[in-house]
Amino acid sequence: MDEVHIMIALLVSGFILLAIGFSQREHDWSLWLTSLGLVSMFAPLMFRLYLGFS
């Protein structure tokens, strides 16, 4: 896969995790799902830094 496709996949998966976690916020597991979505939203930034420095 191209780098752009990988970044788009990471962003879309982050949006989905954030949406599911926020919509189910009365459950205990939603905090973890929202946190995982937030981390995956920062993954493209780390991926671009990795590509830039390598």
- Secondary structure letter of residue 38 according to DSSP: H
Domain that holds residue 30: 3-53
Rounded to whole angstroms, the Cα distance separating 54 from 1 reads: 18
- 10-14 average pLDDT score: 91
CA angle 11, 18, 13 (to 5 degrees): 30
What is residue 32's predicted lDDT score, i.e. its pLDDT? 93
Q: Please count the residues of the chain.
A: 54
Rounded to whole angstroms, the Cα distance separating 30 from 4 reads: 29
Decide: 48 and 26 in contact? Cβ < 8 Å: no
End-to-end CA distance of the chain: 18
- 11-37 average pLDDT score: 92
Q: Is the pLDDT reported for residue 1 higher than 80? A: no
What is residue 2's predicted lDDT score, i.e. its pLDDT? 84
pTM: 0.78
pLDDT band at residue 20 using 50, 70 and 90 as cut-offs: very high
Structural domain total, the chain = 1
What is residue 18's predicted lDDT score, i.e. its pLDDT? 93
